[in-house]
């Protein structure tokens, strides 16, 4: 009955959801208007039945899951893989990462008719969902068609936990349709159990985000970009948001007064922000180049207006600021910087990575700055002392290495489900 009420309310909102995706989001990013029928459970005829479906909400989840998915391709060669996502940028990243070796489509909106059509058409062998994408109808119809659902790399912040508690009946409905949940840590596990998930179905594996590594090709590309930028002090602000771009630009202007050769790499989180940030840089009278074009040596800022290059750009810097944290956004993944032994600075809002930042800070690989003034002061100190910045980066990498292994533990879980 609870799922029926949820489905009815969602159906009543269908016109608004459709207008929002097609008109509002589609105006900013035309990719939202393409493959629109997939939002309602339509599946391309070339996608085979009996696949393993792996759901990654957007770019961040695709990048985090890529090493896991690539190992799945090697480990289960007889099982086709379908990677679903919610956003055009996520879809583009799937194509970039896997170059046609997997199938991809949008996960349907969680209307009952959409998810029923999707599951009935694909008849998946297994549904693997990254992090906290908990969809009542998707899980219900997968379970109804004897398809196990595994939630991996699962995290649940205290804030999200309280939200799910307000809808305890539907939360219990979701939990009963999860076959196995692989959580980041015991704290996350306990929250899922409190929502109604059987304790026997929860396994603590750690976070697969710690398993980020740089391949030989990655190192080669990183070296090429470094040579383009030249031998000068560099800091990067990755995954920045509106309200944060302006603060980063102001910090950089302040730093230039004491370190005139300093280069800032600013990488907005969303592609639709690229032009807005370019306008902000012009208004600030800063000389800048765009990564999508040629780099000018006299640039004071490099605007990273490309997709999928952030881990390389982090590796070019002496110190990294990770965005979504000077505003109340919860932060973004600091481990791509740590993989290149680059130390991390962050604003105070890091609740999305509450399983990562405490460990980084405990091992002195990350520093939290309460505001842009403190960020400016920390950058001045670190950029003026290469040894201090280098030590911060070494500590960040040591934390990364210490916590690796979640991918293999997750593969063991998938093994057990495929054998059933």
The per-residue pLDDT for 355 is 83
Q: What does DSSP say about strands 301-303 and 288-290: parallel, antiparallel, or unpaired?
A: parallel
Q: Name the DSSP class of 22.
A: I
Domain borders along the chain are 26-206+405-418, 216-402
CB 145 within 8 A of CB 53: no
The residues facing 180 across adjacent strands are 150
| Helical residues (DSSP H) of 127-196, grouped into ranges | 136-144, 158-165, 168-176, 186-194
Residues recognised as catalytic: 61
Q: Do the domains at 26-206+405-418 and 216-402 have one common CATH topology?
A: yes
3-class DSSP assignment, residue 309: coil
Cβ-based neighbours of 19, under 8 Å, separated by 6 or more? none
3-class DSSP assignment, residue 94: helix
CATH architecture of the domain 26-206+405-418 equals 3-Layer(aba) Sandwich (3.40)
Q: How many helices (H) and strands (E) does the chain have?
A: 19, 14
In the chain, % of residues over pLDDT 70: 100
Q: What is the pLDDT of residues 254-297, one digit of tens each?
A: 999 999 999 999 999 988 999 999 999 999 999 999 999 989 99
Compute the residue count for the chain. 420
CATH T-level topology, domain 216-402: Rossmann fold (3.40.50)
CB 364 within 8 A of CB 395: yes
The per-residue pLDDT for 302 is 97
CB 205 within 8 A of CB 180: no
pTM for this entry: 0.81
Is residue 1 pLDDT above 60, yes or no? no
Q: Structure tokens of 18?
A: 């459709």
Q: What is the pLDDT of residues 87-115, one digit of tens each?
A: 999 999 999 999 889 999 999 999 999 99
CA-closest candidate to residue 173, choices 329, 34, 6, 51 = 6
Q: What is the pLDDT of residues 25-67, one digit of tens each?
A: 999 899 999 999 999 999 999 999 999 999 999 988 998 899 9
């Amino acid at each position: 009955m609870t799922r029926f009420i949820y489905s009815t309310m969602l159906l009543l909102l269908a016109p608004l959801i459709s207008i929002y995706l097609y008109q509002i989001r589609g105006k900013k990013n035309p990719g939202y208007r393409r493959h629109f029928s997939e939002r309602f459970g339509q599946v391309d005829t070339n996608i085979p039945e009996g696949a393993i479906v792996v759901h990654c909400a957007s770019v961040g989840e695709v990048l985090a899951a890529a090493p896991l998915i690539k190992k799945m391709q090697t480990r289960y060669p007889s099982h086709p893989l379908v990677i679903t996502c919610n956003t055009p940028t996520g879809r583009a990243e799937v194509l970039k990462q896997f170059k046609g070796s997997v199938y991809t489509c949008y996960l349907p909106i969680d209307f009952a008719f959409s998810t029923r059509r999707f599951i009935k058409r694909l008849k998946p062998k297994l549904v693997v969902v990254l992090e906290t994408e908990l969809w009542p109808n998707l899980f219900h119809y997968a379970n109804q068609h004897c398809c196990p659902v595994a939630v991996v790399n699962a995290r649940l912040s205290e804030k999200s936990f309280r939200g799910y508690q307000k809808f305890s009946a539907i939360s219990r409905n979701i939990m009963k349709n999860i076959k196995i949940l692989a959580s980041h840590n015991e704290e996350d596990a306990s929250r899922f159990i409190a929502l109604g998930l059987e304790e026997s179905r929860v396994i603590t594996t750690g976070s697969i985000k710690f398993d980020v590594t740089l391949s030989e090709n990655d190192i080669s590309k990183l070296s090429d970009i470094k040579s383009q930028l030249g031998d000068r002090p560099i800091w990067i602000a990755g995954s920045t948001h509106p309200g944060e771009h302006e603060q980063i630009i102001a910090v950089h202007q302040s730093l230039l007064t004491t370190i005139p050769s300093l280069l800032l790499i600013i990488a907005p989180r969303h592609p639709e922000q690229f032009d807005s940030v370019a306008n902000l840089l012009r208004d600030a009278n800063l000389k800048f180049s765009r990564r999508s074009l040629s780099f000018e040596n006299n640039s004071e800022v490099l605007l990273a207006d490309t997709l999928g290059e952030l881990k390389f750009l982090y590796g070019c810097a002496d110190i990294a600021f990770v965005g979504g944290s000077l505003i109340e956004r919860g932060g973004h993944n600091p481990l791509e910087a740590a993989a290149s032994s680059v130390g991390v600075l962050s604003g105070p809002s890091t609740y999305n990575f509450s399983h990562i930042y405490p460990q980084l800070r405990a091992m002195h690989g990350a520093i939290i700055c309460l505001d842009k003034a403190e960020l400016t002061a920390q950058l001045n100190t670190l950029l003026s002392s290469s040894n201090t910045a280098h030590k911060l980066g070494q500590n960040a990498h040591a934390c990364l290495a210490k916590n690796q292994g979640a991918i293999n533990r997750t593969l063991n879980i998938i093994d057990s489900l495929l054998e059933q």
